[in-house]
Amino acid sequence: MNEHWLSVEQIADHLGVNPDTIYKWINRKRMPAHRVGRLWKFLASDVDQWVKGGRAAQENNNKRASPKNPRRMKSGMRLQP
């Protein structure tokens, strides 16, 4: 079985996310991707396994866990140092 390489746009469509999200995952070196010249290519089977392993969800949770201003709560109240 020969699997075809997919582009950023194709893998984003496959996962139902924005291509910008794919680039963020690549830049954090978490998503299985291969660079061919200046283009990124993916095997759907590698990406599917990465998603099934929960790594895409972990990446999103890590993003939410680190607020821009950790001394402020969502309500806007300031926390004590």
Q: Where are the domains positioned within the chain?
A: 8-65
d(CA 4, CA 47): 13
pLDDT tens track for 43-75:
999 999 999 987 666 555 555 544 445 555 555
**Residue 3 identity (one-letter amino acid):** E
Task: Name which of 3, 40, 44 is nearest 24 in CA terms.
Answer: 40
For residues 46 and 32, the answer to whether their CB atoms sit within 8 Å is yes
**Taking the CB of residue 8, how many other CB atoms lie within 10 A of it?**
18
pLDDT of residue 30: 85
